[in-house]
Amino acid sequence: MTINDTAVLRVAGRPVGRYVTRPELPVRLSPRPYLHPVTTLSGTAVTELSPADHAHHLGVGVAVPDVEGFNFWGGRTYVRDQGPTELDNHGSQRHVAFQLRDPDGFVEELRWVSAAGELLRERRTVAATELTDQAWALDLTFSLTNVTKEPLSIGSPATNGRPGAAYGGFFWRARKEDAPPDVFTAGTEGETEAHGKRADWLALAGSGWTLVFAGATEQTRRDPWFVRTGEYPGVGSSLAHEERLPIPPGETVVRRVVTVVADGRLGRDAAAALVRKAVSP
């Protein structure tokens, strides 16, 4: 499964995702492991890596713009009353080891390291499962433990004064096409209606593909979705939507997002049915 520092995820014998554990990236991009390319079963790529509009968007992964003032998202930092600012505050996520490694998934240990030392220890579990002959599911769980002796908190540009920018946590940078993808939930449609709202699942439908994101635990479903389609196509969770998320010493924050990766453009009923199949116990 691993070639050098790359793990290849397979579903029904087909490669559907490439996981890079030790990317060689500039410090200002907050180097971290990522999945790219991720593809549908027919081979259509549904991720982008370091696109021109946001060089720090790295396929699929976990990224947080503010861990006690350190940037694990990449790019500029939003400073209250000042706006996006270039700061020398970037951290990195460092692969320690795989505890488990199979063709359809892995369990990985990571260290979140800043100039102040290691702040968080992460256990990341990734699994790929076939749903139908045209759809599969990427199941990603991350557990962040405060390994310092002091309280830590996770913030976002929103908690630092920028309304509507509560990104941070799971993030999927989708492929950019000539037309923006459609976005919908079980009861809403469009970026304005979906962004910043809670929903059991949320779908992004492009020219010949659909991604359906679902919070797979009660706590994960409490996090509103961060949604972009017009500026660029991307979907993520919001760990710090209205206020900072505290992590006391030794405590752990856990989130699990399951993403259906399908060929074709799914409607609401088909999206909901595949989510039920993907998230069922």
The 3-state secondary structure of 35-96, one letter per residue: EEEEECCCCCECCCECCCCCCCCECEEEEEEEECCEEECCCCEEECCCEEECCCCECEEEEE
How far apart CA 144 and CA 253 sit, in angstroms, is 5
Q: What is the pLDDT of residues 64-97, one digit of tens each?
A: 999 999 999 999 999 999 999 999 999 999 999 9
The CA–CA distances, whole Å, from 156 to 128, 187, 238 equal 29, 27, 8
pTM of this structure: 0.97
Centre a 10 Å sphere on the Cβ of residue 74 and count the other Cβ atoms it contains: 25
Centre a 10 Å sphere on the Cβ of residue 214 and count the other Cβ atoms it contains: 25
The mean per-residue pLDDT over the stretch 215-241 comes to 97
Q: What is the pLDDT of residues 25-72, one digit of tens each?
A: 999 999 999 999 999 999 999 999 999 999 999 999 999 999 999 999
The mean per-residue pLDDT over the stretch 103-118 comes to 97
What's the confidence (pLDDT) of residue 120?
Answer: 98
The mean per-residue pLDDT over the stretch 94-122 comes to 96
